[in-house]
Structure 1
Amino acid sequence: MSKVYYKSAEDVEQLRKSATVLSQLLGEIAREIRPGITTLALDKLAYDYIHDHGGRPAFLNYNGFPNSLCISVNDQVVHGIPSDYELREGDIVSVDGGVELNNFISDSAYTFAVGEVAPEVDRLLRVTLESLNLAIKQAVAGKRVGDVAYTVQEHVSQYGYGIVRELVGHGVGYKLHEKPEIPNYGKRGTGTKLEEGLVICIEPMINMGKAGVKFWDDGWTVSTADGKPSAHYEHMVAIRKGVPDVLTTFAYIEEVLNKKG
């Protein structure tokens, strides 16, 4: 990871444009997720959509990553490589994408349910998303990274879930991964001070079972050590005084899911 970069107001507006393309893309993905579709088909949709909107997939060839999306199914936590795997009823699938538009990079992720999922899996998704939304409220000028991290930890630990420690959120904007790191556990009042112009990705990665993970031989995929499901949501937030400025949105996803439901 590089140094901490602070963005101008103009830069934040450019990042918002990139984030909007990404958010709309995730809405298109929501439309296509169903039993029988391959994760590679979703990846191709993303590649085409991003190029059609004047951008470049930020993940493609990043440190050698072969695709436009990270797609992680069931016990895969993050960084799953799209394949010929066909989604099945009851699966959950984390779709993590990035867009580079006019040299500004956005990053966001959402975990989708494929058809009907088991009630305990549905709860994992709900609690993980809740933890993200609670943590975002801490992402304002004057707070610290530890305030964001502690908020995730406090919310999910009461359900007995495991919090992944090997992987964290991060700064973003000029590069895909910038400082500071944003863990999902920590102590209030500690860590880097959040100041205006900082843009961060908050991304809880929460396991239904134990916190432990294993790293696959493909060099990318990370899965739970106990084989239980994992959920992952990510928003990109510009730090401001008083209120967080969330650059990505799940509104396009929710609009599609509400129609499906």
Structure 2
Amino acid sequence: MDKLDIKLWTLASKGQIVPDRSLLKTPEQIEMIKKSAALNTAVLDHVAAHIHAGMSTAEIDKLVYDFTTEHGGIPAPLNYEGFPKSVCTSINNVICHGIPSEHEILIDGDIINVDVSTILNGYFSDASRMFTIGEVSPEAERIVRVTKECVELGLKAAKPWGHLGDIAYAINSHAQENGYSVVEEIGGHGIGLEFHEEPFVSYVTPKGSEMVLVPGMMFTIEPMINQGSPEFYVDEDNGWTVYTDDDGLSAQIEYMVLIKEDGVEVLTK
């Protein structure tokens, strides 16, 4: 056993949840995943440069597909467990997994989450951004702003040898202080060698709980913040799109991060 194995064994013997060594990325893997993450960021930048009122979400899907494939990548959502498009586009009361459509047109006042995931040379990356279309209401502006604050506070709470629960506590506390709720059943995930890896990343668990943040871990910080109730329902027709139960607004911002010996690195956002 090397020093890391001994430390993990010691923590586990004390009842701590520790990652399997297979979840800790090697320097070689990290280098390749960072290339995928760089393309993922470029895709989101491309969307940011072109998104506007009057365009359909199908046009966003085409932007993502064309840019990704032209740069040697593959959109990870495309055909993933039957998902029919290259990107998730979630507007206003859609929490996540909105499916792009020619019939869904962005209008002034909309808020939209564009969730981009990329495969490059077999390595995975993932991030999402919120976009405000034209002039949005104070309520819409506020939930987007607070969601960004939640993610940044979660990132600040992430420290090597801390716990996933530290991130969740920071996010949930700030959301509740601002009168919002955090979706409980849907969270973040490990990523890098696969689209979705362990661990499941909750944003409602207590400080000091959940898995230990071991250097080499890679996962997403992506809380879904609801204006009202955290409850939701899934579109029965397409089996994917998740809506707020009370028709309130929802916002989500996603960072992909790497736990390092000396802190946390954001790989794409």
Equivalent residue for 2:99?
81
SS at match of 1:187: coil
* 1:52 matches 2:80: no
- Closer, same or farther: CA 3–38 of 1 in aligned 2, 3 Å: farther
SS in 1 for 2:166: helix
Q: Distance in 2 between matches of 1:239 and 1:139?
A: 8
Stretches of structure 2 that go unaligned for 5 or more consecutive residues are: 1-19
CA distance in 2, matches of 1:171, 1:4: 11
Aligned residues: 248
Structure scoring higher RCO (CA < 8 A, sep ≥ 6) equals: 1
Separation in structure 1 between the aligned mates of residue 265 and residue 121 of structure 2, nearest angstrom: 20
What residue ranges of structure 1 are gaps of 5+ in the alignment? 250-261
Secondary structure at the residue paired with 2:209? coil
Which of the pair has more CA radius of gyration? 2
Equivalence for 2:123: 104
What displacement does 1:4 show?
A: 5.8
List per-residue Cα deviations over 1:144-180 (Å, max 9, x = no partner): 1111111100111101102111200010011111111
Question: Once the two structures are superposed, what CA deviation does each residue of 1:161-217 show, in whole Å capped at 9, x if it has no partner?
Answer: 021112000100111111111111110111111101110101010011111111111
User: Is residue 169 from structure 1 mapped to residue 188 from structure 2 by the alignment?
Assistant: yes
Q: Does the Cα contact within 8 Å between 1:15 and 1:105 map onto a contact in 2?
A: yes
Tell me, in whole angstroms, the C-alpha distance in 2 between the residues paired with 1:247 and 1:31: 20
Q: CA-atom RMSD, angstroms?
A: 1.3
Task: Output aligned runs, 1:101-140, within 5 Å.
Answer: 101-140=120-159
Aligned partner of 1:18: which letter? S
Deviation at 1:120, TM superposition (A): 1.4
1:70 aligns to 2:78 (yes or no):
no
8 Å CA contact 2:118–2:125 kept in 1: the answer is: yes
Q: Does 1:209 align with 2:235?
A: no
Give TM-score, length-normalised by structure 2.
0.90
Q: Hey, which bits of structure 1, 4+ residues long, moved more than 3 A? A: none
**Cα gap change, 1:151 to 1:124, in 2 (>3 Å):** same
Q: Tell me the TM-score normalised to structure 1 length.
A: 0.92
1:256 aligned partner: none
Match of 2:253?
233
Q: Which residue of 1 aligns with 2:79?
A: 61
Measured against aligned partners, the alpha-carbon deviations of 1:48-101 in whole angstroms (never above 9, x if no partner) come to 100011111111111110011010111000000000211000001110010000
CA distance in 2, matches of 1:189, 1:69: 34
Matches within 5 A, 1:185-196: 185-196=204-215
Contact 1:198/1:239 (8 A) holds in 2 = yes
Amino acid in structure 2 at the alignment position of 1:103 = G
**Secondary structure class of the residue paired with 2:23:** coil
> Which letter maps to 2:256?
M
Q: Which residue of 2 aligns with 1:245?
A: 265
Give the partner amino acid of 1:207.
N
The equivalent residue for 1:17 is 35
Contact in 1 for aligned 2:183/2:225 (Cα 8 Å): yes
In the alignment, does 2:179 pair up with 1:160? Answer: yes
Per-residue deviation, residues 117-168 of structure 1 (Å, max 9, x unmatched) = 0011101001101110111122231011111111100111101102111200
* % identical equivalent positions: 41
Cα distance in 1 between the residues matched to 2:99 and 2:56: 12
